[in-house]
Amino acid sequence: MFYSGRIGSFGILVLICIIVYIRLRQVVVGKSPTIRRLPALESVEEAVGRAAEMGRPVFFNAGYAAGGLTTIEAPIIGAAMSLLHYTARLTARYGTGITIFLGPINMVPVSMDVIKAAYTIEGVESDYRETMVRWLSDSQFVYTSGFMGACQREKPASHVMMGGFWYESILLGEAGRNAGAFTVGGTPRQGQVHFMVAICDYVLIGDEYYAAAASVSRDPEEIGSIWGADDIKILILGLLIVGSILQVLGIDWITQLLKL
Amino acid sequence: MEQRHIIYLLLAIMIAIPYIQPIGIPVETSKMTRDFYNKLKSLPEGSAVVLMVDVGLGSWVELGPATVAVVQHLLDLPIKLLVSGGSAELPVVWEYTLEQGNIKLGDNKYGEDYVVLGFITGGEPAAAALADNLHLTKEDQYGTPLEEIPMMKDLRTAADVKVVLSIMAGTQEEWYLRQWRAPYGTDVGIIVSAVTTALAMTYYVSGQIFGMVNSLRGGAEYELLISKPGKGVVGTDMLSLSHLLLVGLLIIGNIQLLYEKFSGTRKPEEKTGG
Amino acid sequence: MAFERNIGPKIVLSITIILMVTNYYLSPQLFQDIGKYIKEFVVVIAAVMLGLGFINALLRDIPRITKKEPGQWYFSLLTIIFIFVMLFLCAGNKYMPGTFSGMYSFLYQEVYRVLGNAIGAFAAFFVFTATFRAMRLKTLEAGAYTISHILAVLGNAPIGAVIWPGIPIIADWINEVVVSAGLRGFIITSSLGGVILVFRYVIGKSETVLGSA
């Protein structure tokens, strides 16, 4: 019935699902973990405030993230939408307006809905414009050059770059900085974090990104997911430590179990 | 002139110097390039290799030399080559590779030794779909039904493929590890941009990827391995000088910082852009 | 209507996910055939999305031209012109290659490629300024970051071995041990995030992919 060599991973998959389900149920009945203070998240309001003072726009970038919702980038994009919603609400409150730049075409209707919802919640639905969502291109360099041009022409006061970035993160970040923008970044993509750290004034690294998305959305499902993910990480850490020690001692039953 | 403009100018000069007068700094072959080369060389005659082109011409400067060298090597080996990929620019990249790289087709016959399937959109699901069914596109890039192409008769799924190679600038190696290697056991090799090398290193160290050709430097190494030096070797001089400039600037910048710190003349930092 | 908007897509999503999981883990041919069919269907959908992108580009740019949006309308006009020029040349290159292949090749290879490479080249300049700005010995962590960066940079260039043969060895060690270890943590957590999100889709606890924030 099962493919040989995949039963171990199926067992781990089931365990992950059970743990996450338990935590989701716990959050629904009112329990919740503490999400620590995230300076990068708090700086988003500072960024929007700066834009309001300077009378210049706020740019939001969710990254090229090729394919968007059809790929493994889907969790990153989902979290980016939560952060977009949070940023859009701030811009609605401060009256600065926001422009989001997109690579994947399938994100256009989603982003429009997210920003419109944010403006509606803040009671300024009339300020929402469809031009707040700018789809540039599905081609990475075309998307990047489009954003760089927009930065040069429109000189944003703040640049919030949170999402799934590929190679273009350094270009997007520096383009914003060269235009004088205060830059806040965040991505869980391992290959781009180092660029973000070098470019941004504040940055969310790795899982801080998901935690930030969960804490701004206050969505019980997102918080439960973060909580469950933390539990699983502790389990994995334990497995790694115990497994490594046992392997060194010549006992490989954990490895054999995982290879079942 | 702002500080960054001076840096840009210095960088431009350092890149221009070896372009005008090549220096010839010796290039040592790294283990990951050598592993890539040895794996391909050790393939039995008639093995099927799939080359996935997942970049566009925008990455040509960095990945072009490696692409040309690897394609030439593949065509020199007694293997069956399928060319496909997730990049919409695949047709142009392939033609450009053959043309610009002066690739010698030798005795290779289209349809018997190599086939271009064309690009398949859809990202990782497309890679998965191709692994399940190599006849996914029904026709090759030129409109010939795959059933009429001699070399495609025995090639049905990724299980019939010994090696899948990806020319990539993102994290597509994970696609092939998940959709080709894990279910079918196909070995994965990558030609990768420098940014992604660090990421892919994890998979190389664990043995999941058999070898990596790391951007321009790897391209130069591969050119030397196949004894056909080209633009990659020329480019490594520029790489060396520009890296040397970066290190020099970092050292100067930090000396300045330490001097300001110890002499008490350091200004507080602004947390704003520019 | 409420049923179609919320429940229908969620059920389709959940079933598709379960079928793809069974495709990977279970060997009976039925699951393999279903999985294969779904994957091919995704390829078709993705191809349709490309066409949608073209239509979206027109829908976005044409109003900008007609309304003469300041600072933007001429770029939109150029975009539309070049879209149709390339479409015409692509069709011409396919059906009358003798007539059109030269112009097509020129525009693609000598204009589009060069522009793409130029944008990629920006990265080199921007990395320089970003690195120069960021890598300062302000704290212990920043110092470790700077020193390992210097070694990795020199190790990646042939000149590193010329300066001192130990540089490539140390750079390789940094890449293979330190960087790999750190990135493994990232890979595990981001993959975990993916699994958890997909589980939430299956149990209907997430609607992000369906368009809700």
The tens digit of pLDDT for each residue in B46-85 reads 999 999 999 888 888 889 999 999 999 999 999 999 999 9
Q: What is the pLDDT of residue B271?
A: 46
Which of B2, B11, B171 to mutate to test binding with chain A, by most A CBs within 10 Å of its CB?
B171
Tokens of C68: 């003469």
* Token reading at B206: 């664990």
A1 inside domain: no
What does the pLDDT average to over B74-100?
Answer: 91
Summarised one tens digit per residue, pLDDT across range A37-94 is: 889 999 999 999 999 999 999 999 988 765 566 666 777 888 888 899 999 999 999 9
Contact between A190 and C123 using a beta-carbon 8 Å cutoff: no
Higher pLDDT, B266 or B214: B214
A200 in the same domain as A185: yes
Q: Residues A106, A145: one domain?
A: yes
Across the A/B interface, how many CB contacts are shorter than 8 Å? 56
Please state the rounded mean pLDDT for residues C126-146.
83
> What integer pLDDT is reported at residue B210 of this predicted model?
96
Task: Tell me: pLDDT of B201 over 70.
Answer: yes
| pLDDT value at B266 more than 80 | no
Tell me the pLDDT band of C2, cut-offs 50, 70 and 90: very low
A225 or B83, higher pLDDT: B83
SS (H, E, C) chain C: CHHHHHHHHHHHHHHHHHHHHHHHHECCHHHHHHHHHHHHHHHHHHHHHHHHHHHHHHHHHHHHHHCCCCCCHHHHHHHHHHHHHHHHHHHHHHHCHHHHHHHHHHHHHHHHHHHHHHHHHHHHHHHHHHHHHHCCCCCHHHHHHHHHHHHHHHHHCHHHHHHCCHHHHHHHHHHHHHHHHHHHHHHHHHHHHHHHHHHHHHCCCCCHHHCCC
> Is C187–B202 a contact, with Cβ atoms under 8 angstroms apart?
yes
Of the candidates B125, B193, B272, the beta carbon closest to that of A70 is on B125
A98 and A169 belong to one structural domain: yes
Residues A121, A195, single domain; the answer is yes
| pLDDT tens digits, one per residue of B213-239 | 999 999 999 999 999 998 899 899 999
- Which chain A residue lies closest to C132 (C-alpha atoms)? A198
Is the pLDDT at C210 greater than 80, yes or no?
Answer: no
Domain of B179? 27-237
Residue A190 has pLDDT above 80, yes or no: no
Stretch among B119-133, B194-208, B221-235, B254-268 having the lowest mean pLDDT? B254-268
Cβ(B245)–Cβ(B229) under 8 Å? no
> pLDDT grade, residue C156 (50/70/90)?
confident
Quick one: closest CA in A to C145, which residue?
A194
* Min Cα–Cα distance to chain A from B129, Å: 14
Same domain, A144 and A170: yes
Let me know the angle formed at the C-alpha of B46 by B38 and B131, rounded to the nearest 5 degrees. Answer: 85
Query: Which range has the top average pLDDT, B47-56, C135-144, C203-212?
Result: B47-56
Residue B274: pLDDT band with limits 50, 70, 90: very low
Cα–Cα separations (whole angstroms), residue A168 to A62, A164, B266, C109: 11, 10, 33, 21
Chain A residues lying within 8 Å of C206, measured CB to CB: 78, 221
How much is the pLDDT for A93? Answer: 93
Cβ–Cβ gap A225/C197 under 8 Å: yes
**Do A154 and A27 belong together in one domain?**
no
Q: What mean pLDDT value characterizes chain C?
A: 83
Kindly state whether B199 is in contact with chain C, defined as any CB-CB distance less than 8 angstroms. Answer: yes
Among A148-152, B222-226, C116-120, the minimum mean pLDDT is found in: C116-120
In the predicted structure, residue B108 carries a pLDDT above the cut 50: yes
Interface test with chain A among C192, C198, C210, by most A beta carbons within 10 Å: C192
Q: Which chains neighbour B (Cβ–Cβ under 8 Å, 3 or more pairs)?
A: A, C
Instruction: Let me know if residue B249 belongs to a domain.
Output: no
Whether residue B188 is contained in a domain is answered as yes
pTM for the structure as a whole: 0.84
Binary contact (A198, C135; C-beta < 8 A): yes
pLDDT of residue A65: 63
Distance CA B197, CA B83 (A): 23
Flag whether pLDDT at B20 surpasses 70. yes
Using a CB-CB cut-off of 8 Å, the residues of chain B touching C161 are: 26, 28
The total number of structural domains in chain A stands at 2
Q: Cβ separation of C149 and B244 shorter than 8 Å?
A: no
- Is residue B139's pLDDT more than 80? yes
Contact B4 A70 (CB under 8 A): no
For chain C, list the contacting chains (3+ Cβ pairs, <8 Å).
A, B
ipTM of this predicted structure: 0.82
Residue that has been written with the tokens 């309304």 in this structure: C67
Q: Could you tell me which chain C residue has the CA closest to the CA of B178?
A: C24
Q: Which two tokens stand for residue B171?
A: 């994290």
Out of B103-112, B113-122, B251-260, C111-120, pick the least confident.
Answer: C111-120
What are the structural domain ranges in chain C?
Answer: 136-213
Are the C-beta atoms of residues B86 and B54 closer than 8 Å to each other? yes
- Tell me what pLDDT residue B66 has: 95
Taking residues C168-187, report their average pLDDT. 88
The pLDDT score that the predictor gives to residue A233 is 93
Q: Contacts of residue C45 in chain B, CB cutoff 8 Å?
A: 122
Contact between residue A62 and residue A163 where contact means Cβ atoms under 8 Å apart: yes
Q: Are A225 and C196 in contact (CB under 8 A)?
A: yes
- Which residue in chain B has the smallest CA separation from C101? B92
- Which residue's structure tokens are 């969620």? C10
C-alpha–C-alpha distance, residues B48 and B74, integer Å:
11
Do A67 and B169 make contact, defined as CB atoms within 8 angstroms?
Answer: no
pLDDT tens digits for range A43-52: 999 999 999 9
What is the pLDDT at residue B195? 81
Reported confidence tier of residue B23, pLDDT bands at 50, 70, 90: confident
In terms of domains, do A87 and A172 share one?
yes
The parent domain of residue A249 ranges over: 7-31+220-258
pLDDT score for B2: 77
Domains in chain B, number: 1
- Burial degree of C181 (CB within 10 A; 0-12, 13-18, 19+): exposed
Contact flag A182-B171 (C-beta cutoff 8 Å): no
Cβ of B125 within 8 Å of Cβ of C46? The answer is yes
Residues on chain C touching B201 (C-beta within 8 angstroms) = 175-176, 179-180, 183
Residue C15: per-residue pLDDT: 92
A74 with A168, same domain: the answer is yes
**A231 & A208 share domain:** no
Of A224-228, B131-135, B137-141, C2-6, the poorest mean pLDDT is in C2-6
pLDDT class for A167, splitting at 50, 70, 90? confident
Residues of A in contact with B274 (CB under 8 A): 177-178, 180
Q: Are residues A130 and A237 in the same domain?
A: no
Query: What pLDDT was estimated at residue C213?
Result: 41
Residue B15 belongs to a domain: no
Asked if the Cβ–Cβ distance from A191 to B193 is below 8 Å, we say no
Asked if pLDDT for residue C61 goes beyond 70, the answer is: yes
Q: What is the CATH number of the domain that holds B170?
A: 3.40.50
| Paired residues of B211 in beta bridges | B189
Of C49, C197, C203, Cβ closest to residue A105: C49
Among chain C residues, the shortest Cα distance to A216 is held by: C213
CATH assignment at residue A64? 3.40.50.1220
Please say if the pLDDT value at position B272 is more than 60: no
**Residue-averaged pLDDT of chain B:** 90
The answer to whether the CB atoms of B273 and A182 lie below 8 A apart is yes
Least confident piece of the model among B21-25, B73-77, B176-180, C21-25: B21-25
CB contact under 8 A, A110 and C187: no
pLDDT at C190: 79
Decide if A2 is inside a domain. no
Judged by average pLDDT, the poorest of A150-154, A219-223, C84-88 is A219-223
A156 lies in the same domain as A73: yes
CB-based contact A139 B56, cutoff 8 Å = yes
Nearest to A16 among C131, C190, C195 (CB): C195
C47-67: average pLDDT: 83
Q: Which residues in A lie closer than 8 A to residue C130 (C-beta atoms)? A: 170, 173-174, 195, 198-199
Given this model, what pLDDT does residue C148 score?
87
Average pLDDT over residues A190-197: 82
Q: What is the pLDDT of residue C6?
A: 66
Mean pLDDT for the stretch of residues A114-143:
87
